[in-house]
Amino acid sequence: MRNRIFYLIITAVLSLIMVMGIYEFSKSPKLPENGFVRIFPPHVLSEFKIMPITNNTNLIGYVGDDIYMHNAGISMAYSVYSTTDHETRSIPINLLYKGKIAWKLLKMKVCDSGIFMAEGISPNIFFTPFSSQSLKRIAGVYPGFMNLYPIDSTCVILKTYDPEKQQSILLKYNLHSNKVINSPGLLKKQVDGIFCTEGDLVYDPMYKRFIYLYRYRNEFFTMNTDLQLLGTGHTIDNIQNVRIAVGSYKRNNQVKTTLSSPNKVVNVRGQVSRNNLFVQSAIRASNEMPRTFQNNTVVDIYSLQSNTYLYSFYIPEYKDQNVRDFIIIADYLVVLYEDHLIRYSMNLL
């Protein structure tokens, strides 16, 4: 009897040491090179509602509970999807400008005060408040830009090329006074200055700040609307340095620059909601099955308070269609598929 009690105690101690060992290991797992682990709490997405939409629709932003969409094929209208009512309505707009426009590059963006339509080649910026339906050209546009991100009807953030620094930069531009607030140190060049600094600029209307999420490296930073850096953070994968190579070739006496390596995207797109950053990642974690990763879209959530990783969840495919874009409003995750819009209810921890 005494022997058995002794053996039982030894067995119990060894078992508990093993479980505690596993628990300790789970906090700092040893992983293969470039390995990382995602945490998947269950039931993040619960019920969903489906809304059929036309092909080639893009999400152009949100205001309040409404998501704005624009169809590249039907350029002179936009539609509004109400997340609370699960309904869409289409609104026609006119563009009265007769000058030169690079139509293919025209992109619509929404901010609290109205709708912007812009392209940076000609360049042209058009604006209409929600009360009106005709886009008016804004005079005195900054010469040449790649992307426009509106703050309000008078101020925008432009991503443009700085020939001196030979890289992309972000600048704040006042459309009325034509004043530029330049902040050249924000985008960090690693390879060529253009491709390596590519990324998604997300506006957080609640805290009035921007988050720039690099596309080819595991980094993001937050800044206020005057382009002052507030903080930086890293996404959970280990791709700190851009893994792309850039090559150039001559065509019609013009030097064309392009990627000359497989395109190693890290962060596909980002969204902000309630002090959390949602990042669609293209990198599989060590604890994810290749098939699950391939058939779903993984979204990682980061706290913007501490700039740390919280956990992840999957957005499933719908009718073999992949996620094209998503927006988060309150407890809803609205996902854009090829010809469907699905509103999921989210249960965050």
CB of 323 to other proteins, least distance (A): 20
Q: Which stretch binds other proteins (CB under 8 A): 15-23, 170-178, 246-254, 293-301?
A: 15-23
Q: Which stretch binds other proteins (CB under 8 A): 2-10, 75-83, 108-116, 154-162?
A: 2-10
**Residue with smaller CB distance to other proteins, 25 or 249:** 25
Q: Which stretch binds other proteins (CB under 8 A): 6-14, 56-64, 147-155, 316-324?
A: 6-14
Determine the length of the chain.
349
Token output for 218: 């595991």
Cis peptide before 123 (omega within 30 of 0): yes
Q: Radius of gyration (Cα) for the chain, nearest Å?
A: 24
CB of 44 to other proteins, least distance (A): 10
Does 6 interact with other proteins (rule: CB under 8 A)? Answer: no
**Residue with smaller CB distance to other proteins, 248 or 286:** 286
Q: What is the 3-state secondary structure (H, E, C) of 1-52?
A: CHHHHHHHHHHHHHHHHHHHHHHHHHHCCCCCCCCCCCCCCCCCEEEEEEEE
Binders in 30-59 for other proteins, by CB under 8 A: 31, 37-43
Helices (H) and strands (E) in the chain, counts: 2, 27
Helix spans in the chain (H): 2-27, 290-295
Beta strand extents in 72-197 (DSSP E only): 77-82, 87-92, 94-95, 107-111, 114-119, 124-129, 134-137, 147-150, 155-162, 167-174, 180-182
Does 255 interact with other proteins (rule: CB under 8 A)? Answer: no
Distance CA 307, CA 311 (A): 13
**Residue with smaller CB distance to other proteins, 9 or 77:** 9
Does 347 interact with other proteins (rule: CB under 8 A)? Answer: no
Binders in 263-302 for other proteins, by CB under 8 A: 286-289, 292
Are the C-beta atoms of 160 and 118 separated by less than 8 Å?
Answer: no
Are the C-beta atoms of 106 and 60 separated by less than 8 Å?
Answer: no
**Residue with smaller CB distance to other proteins, 31 or 229:** 31
**Residue with smaller CB distance to other proteins, 5 or 96:** 5
Does 18 interact with other proteins (rule: CB under 8 A)? Answer: yes
**Residue with smaller CB distance to other proteins, 10 or 77:** 10
Does 311 interact with other proteins (rule: CB under 8 A)? Answer: yes
Distance CA 344, CA 39 (A): 20
**Residue with smaller CB distance to other proteins, 84 or 287:** 287
CB of 301 to other proteins, least distance (A): 12
**What stretch of H or E contains 195?**
none
Size of the residue set binding other proteins (CB under 8 A): 33
Does 229 interact with other proteins (rule: CB under 8 A)? Answer: no
Does 306 interact with other proteins (rule: CB under 8 A)? Answer: no
Token output for 279: 């990042």
CB of 132 to other proteins, least distance (A): 48
Per CB under 8 A, residues contacting other proteins are 1, 4-5, 7-8, 11-12, 14-16, 18-20, 22-23, 25-26, 29, 31, 37-43, 286-289, 292, 311, 349
